[in-house]
Structure 1
Amino acid sequence: MKQSYLEDEEVQRHRWWILAAIGLFTIMATLDGSIVNIALPVISHDLEIPMNQAEWVVSLYLIVICALLLFFGKLGDLIGKIKIFRIGTLFFVAGSFLAGIKGNFSLLLAARAIQAFGASMTMATNNGIITEIFPFSERGKALGMIGSFVALGSIAGPGVGGLILAHLTWGYIFWINVPIGVLTIILGAFILPADLNQKSKQSLDYKGALTFAVLMIGLFTAIFLGQEIGFTSVLVIVLFVIAAVSLWLFIKIELVQTNPLISFAIFKNQQFSRSLLTGFLIFVTNFFFNVISPFYLENARGLSPRIAGYILMLFPLVQVVVAPLSGAISDRIGTKLLAIIGLCLILVSQLGYLLTNLQTPLWLFAANVGLVGLGNGIFQAPNNTTVMSSVSVKDLGIAGGINALARNLGMVIGISGATTVLFAAMSSHAGRQITTYPAKTPEIFIFEMHAVFLLAFVICLAGLLVACRRKGEMKK
């Protein structure tokens, strides 16, 4: 068996087709984290459940993914990343089919859990597979395209979901994955190679995996429930305590394990750690915008969802075009300079949002949306290249899992943080509890929107400072 995919002529001949197959599934897995939001009112009505219960269709998906990413990243290192990816595609398609069946709420939640189980397997291994298959001279471009697929799936969900709901029932939001997924599975059966190392003799850290899963489930259940029933609720406090204890146990277990789920030594690699932290902070920043912008465009400015969707789609569309170009350039000149340029553009866009008000011309707001897409397109590819190229081949799976976890944590914290800050600030300003857009007092929303974007500006600035402290470039 070949010692490297780089030595396999057939793999190298099909490497861009492999990227296409993995990228297509990456879009679907990330898309399903956001596409459901727009359908929640319809699902709530059809299944006769309260809106706050319907929101668990989204929350459960994100929680399961975060809980399992590190486990499947490590498992991919032990038994083969491509094997884990293939199994994940099957679970995801099966879950998508079940989720589209109009049965009851329990069936929908179970189907979403199956979807998330499969999605976590593909997310944990996609970057590792690409890093192993592509030569360093093309790795930035390839990882840039994967970053584009992640961005497209994460940001385009509401727009795609709205288009489907305009013509079909909500079940098709899930069923659209089935034919695309089957096509990808068939394509993968012909072009995805066998894993280089079929099985490792190392044992899997089940104790670490279990405590980490409890940590993620406890933490994010507390966050989502806290937004519904208040963070001073006894149940929410208990869940936060469970998460804290699980974190302590996880660290204690990992420090004594022979083959831990995460070897904390990987974080001593400053290129890996700083790039990972920067990526996390930028995902938090981006999802602050994702939460606030629909309120601003549809409620404050009175635009239709269709027009608002067109404006917001500038973000992923610009990023999808720019990211592969940035990746290709980073393959030639290095990653640090491009990452910093991208971060500076994102920072300028946050300043633009901070200055936005009810009189801001829509063309200027749209230009700002395009600017943040440009900044992300320039930043994400070289940053992903640094994260994945700074670790040894044996750690690619867990590095990919950690990288995907950082993205998902950034997304969840961005969503929950933005809404928590926004509604808490509006409630404090108004002297009463506010949990939605204040239709009669838009000036309160605008004032507190600025508070949210000020926090986003500070978070983005922190990411820029971390990136500037990163030393050196990746060696070819």
Structure 2
Amino acid sequence: MTSYPQDAVAAGPSRTEPVRWRLASISLSMLLASLGTSIANVGLPSLAEAFSASFQEVQWVVLAYLLAITTLIISIGRLGDIVGRRRLLLGGIALFTLASALCGAAPFLPWLVAARILQGLGAAAMMALAMALVGEAIPKQKTGSAMGLLGTMSAIGTALGPSLGGALIAGFGWQAIFLVMVPAGLLALFLAHRALPADHPASRPTRSGFDLAGTLLLAATLGTYALAMTIGRGAFGMTNLMLLLMAIVGMCLFLFVESRAASPLVRLSMLREPLLRSGLATSMLVATVMMTTLVVGPFYLSRGLGLSAALVGLVMSAGPVVSALAGVPAGRFVDRFGARRMAVAALGIMATGCLALSIAPQPLGVVGYVMPLIILTAGYALFQAAITTGVMKDARPEQRGTVSGLLNLSRNLGLITGASVMGAIFSFVAANEAATAGSDAAAAGMRATFAVATVLVVFAAAIAAANRAHEANPTPQEVSVAGK
């Protein structure tokens, strides 16, 4: 088997100081990529006014960023496996920083949307390769803590975006929400350049060609699916159906092409590995559930409980704050008790929170929503640390970029699916309850949506538990393959 010097170095660094700077560089990369999504949402009204555009037009400022990440994150992860992850991460940070400056200087809306696509491309590299570099730059016994820290940074970026963006727009205008990421990007670039270990030629796989056909086909397929789930503003019409059918055909074509490619973008044999397969499935299900809190929560709090916009924002921030606080402790639990065990426990905690939200009586008010939300979000933080640690620890060094891309992709697809499906469930139930008071209709929609979320989490827990049992009792064929 090929020797990987970086893994040997990462397994036992002589000093903790370099490890801390490495963690700081990849954590800042994850923070900025997450901030790039959340900080733009709060600026949509200002952008609509500045460019005299409709909501449907300015929402592409957010959608373009998400589509760029979703469609390209696997390809970038694979490219990092080939050309070197540190090199590609530095390029991603540089592109993200340059694109942020272009966003702030945009004279018209199409310019801004195009710059956001470039920014999303840089963010995809930052997200995929930051996770992949943990295996090379961080001691293996600290992998769980490092993954928990990355989850914390992602949560902080999500929580910080609306408040920071609102303050910047009020004080300096909409341009500031993009320009603020320029100095932060330069700092991330400096830290990554100084702290991350250099790409070693021996750590790369054989210099096989890049699967351009598979890359373009997968990007088109994922982009089509994302559009099918997002256009129409909650109404699933004929256009959405046609796009969804096109995505299904595209995925079938992608699998066909990959099965015959000399150097496939995704080796289909990877998807036969039980841990990776179950990790991707549970990650998508959990992300679908977590999107429910972002889609349904504001409607229930404003219409069901009658809270003002400011109070809705305050209550909604409880989730990201809990996730940020729980990230590092969750990683330590994973390091101590094991990723597989903690993944099952985390899903049990999440199921408890979802069930409480589905039966919480409306008279309990904000407390009846926030307490289950805290339980749900704490479980999510533990799940994220467990699933990323378990999957990335077992990934082969030459496949870490691809595996990281797959994990991030499953999460993004879950978020996109949750925004569409869970929002549709809420709207359907609330519309059927429209004869009652508006607050009762919103409460009924919220309870029904989280009842479905509970079923999804229980299903994810069953998958994780079955995988854990399977790992304890592998088939003779898998024992034979593992021993090779």
Same fold (TM over 0.5): yes
Segments of structure 2 that go 5 or more residues without pairing to the other structure are: 473-481
- Residue 224 (structure 2) pairs with residue 221 (structure 1): no
Q: Provide the C-alpha distance between the structure 2 equivalents of 1:428 and 1:298, rounded to a whole number of angstroms.
A: 19
Q: Provide the C-alpha distance between the structure 1 equivalents of 2:333 and 2:149, rounded to a whole number of angstroms.
A: 13
Q: 1:12 to 1:4 in 2, by over 3 A?
A: farther
Residue 232 (structure 1) aligns with: 237
Q: Secondary structure at the match of 1:359?
A: helix
Q: Cα distance, 1:142 vs. partner?
A: 0.8
Q: Provide the C-alpha distance between the structure 2 equivalents of 1:188 and 1:381, rounded to a whole number of angstroms.
A: 22
Q: Cα distance, 1:385 vs. partner?
A: 0.5
Contact persistence 1:215–1:242 (CA under 8 A) = yes
Contact persistence 1:278–1:463 (CA under 8 A) = yes
Residue 184 (structure 1) aligns with: 188
Q: Cα distance, 1:156 vs. partner?
A: 4.4
- Residue 89 (structure 2) pairs with residue 85 (structure 1): yes
- Residue 444 (structure 2) pairs with residue 444 (structure 1): no
Contact persistence 1:274–1:466 (CA under 8 A) = yes
Q: Provide the C-alpha distance between the structure 2 equivalents of 1:232 and 1:307, rounded to a whole number of angstroms.
A: 34
Q: Secondary structure at the match of 1:324?
A: helix
Q: Provide the C-alpha distance between the structure 1 equivalents of 2:237 and 2:333, rounded to a whole number of angstroms.
A: 50
Q: Provide the C-alpha distance between the structure 1 equivalents of 2:368 and 2:170, rounded to a whole number of angstroms.
A: 29
Q: Secondary structure at the match of 1:15?
A: helix
Which amino acid counterpart does residue 221 of structure 2 have in structure 1? L
Q: Cα distance, 1:449 vs. partner?
A: 1.9
For residues 281-320 of structure 1, the aligned pairs below 5 Å read 281-320=285-324
Q: Secondary structure at the match of 1:170?
A: coil
Contact persistence 1:227–1:420 (CA under 8 A) = no
Match of 1:460 among 457, 463, 471: 457
Which amino acid counterpart does residue 342 of structure 1 have in structure 2? A
Which amino acid counterpart does residue 452 of structure 1 have in structure 2? T
Contact persistence 1:6–1:134 (CA under 8 A) = no
Q: Provide the C-alpha distance between the structure 1 equivalents of 2:363 and 2:270, rounded to a whole number of angstroms.
A: 49
Report sequence identity in percent.
Answer: 26
Which amino acid counterpart does residue 44 of structure 1 have in structure 2? A
- Residue 218 (structure 2) pairs with residue 212 (structure 1): yes
Report the TM-score, using the length of structure 2 for normalisation: 0.90
For residues 188-203 of structure 1, the aligned pairs below 5 Å read 188-197=192-201, 200-203=206-209
Match of 2:354 among 333, 337, 350: 350
Segments of structure 1 that go 5 or more residues without pairing to the other structure are: 432-437
Q: 1:77 to 1:296 in 2, by over 3 A?
A: same
Residue 425 (structure 1) aligns with: 429
Q: Provide the C-alpha distance between the structure 2 equivalents of 1:456 and 1:42, rounded to a whole number of angstroms.
A: 34
Q: 1:51 to 1:325 in 2, by over 3 A?
A: same
Q: Secondary structure at the match of 1:35?
A: helix
Match of 1:7 among 4, 9, 30: 9
Which amino acid counterpart does residue 194 of structure 2 have in structure 1? F
User: Which stretch of the first structure deviates more once superposed, 138-147 or 36-45?
Assistant: 36-45
Q: Cα distance, 1:312 vs. partner?
A: 2.3
Report the TM-score, using the length of structure 1 for normalisation: 0.91
User: Which stretch of the first structure deviates more once superposed, 140-149 or 94-103?
Assistant: 94-103
Q: Provide the C-alpha distance between the structure 1 equivalents of 2:194 and 2:432, rounded to a whole number of angstroms.
A: 59
For residues 392-431 of structure 1, the aligned pairs below 5 Å read 392-430=396-434
Which amino acid counterpart does residue 458 of structure 1 have in structure 2? V
Which amino acid counterpart does residue 231 of structure 1 have in structure 2? F
Q: Provide the C-alpha distance between the structure 1 equivalents of 2:71 and 2:291, rounded to a whole number of angstroms.
A: 20
Q: Provide the C-alpha distance between the structure 2 equivalents of 1:169 and 1:81, rounded to a whole number of angstroms.
A: 36
User: Which stretch of the first structure deviates more once superposed, 95-104 or 119-128?
Assistant: 95-104
Contact persistence 1:144–1:381 (CA under 8 A) = yes
Q: Secondary structure at the match of 2:278?
A: helix
Match of 1:469 among 462, 466, 470: 466
Residue 144 (structure 2) aligns with: 140
User: Which stretch of the first structure deviates more once superposed, 185-194 or 306-315?
Assistant: 306-315
State the number of aligned residues.
465
Match of 2:111 among 107, 120, 139: 107
User: Which stretch of the first structure deviates more once superposed, 27-36 or 205-214?
Assistant: 27-36
User: Per-residue displacement from partner, 1:311-341 (whole Å, max 9, x unpaired)?
Assistant: 2222222222222222223222212222222
Q: Cα distance, 1:155 vs. partner?
A: 4.8
Contact persistence 1:285–1:456 (CA under 8 A) = yes
